[in-house]
Amino acid sequence: MVNRFEWIYTPKHASWLNMAELEFSALQRQCLKRRIPTLERLRDEVESWVSARNAAGVKINWQFSTQDARRSFSRHYQAIQIN
């Protein structure tokens, strides 16, 4: 039965999801806020945007240090630990 399952690593924290959400937001604002007439053109536009973003070495500028985040969101951590 064990062979029927595929084990996939997922991070314990959702910071990777925050990064994905930020990238999708930037894609929408910088590339997709206009009408794109065909699926092929959409694919080309997105690939071009991704290539330019990667070439520029765009990084996420986190606004919180780990200590600040723990202080700001401590009530959420406590709720998780209790449950």
Percentage above 70 pLDDT, the chain: 83
Which stretch of DSSP H or E encloses residue 48? helix 39-56
Per the CB < 8 A criterion, the answer to whether 45 and 26 are in contact is: no
- On whether the pTM is more than 0.85, the answer is no
Per the CB < 8 A criterion, the answer to whether 71 and 64 are in contact is: no
Residue ranges of domains in the chain: 11-82
Closest by CA to 73, choosing from 52, 21, 81, 8, is 81
pLDDT tens digits, one per residue of 24-64: 999 999 999 999 999 999 999 999 999 999 999 998 887 77
C-alpha span between 18 and 73 (Å, rounded):
15
Distances (CA, A) of 79 to 2, 56, 67, 71: 34, 40, 18, 14
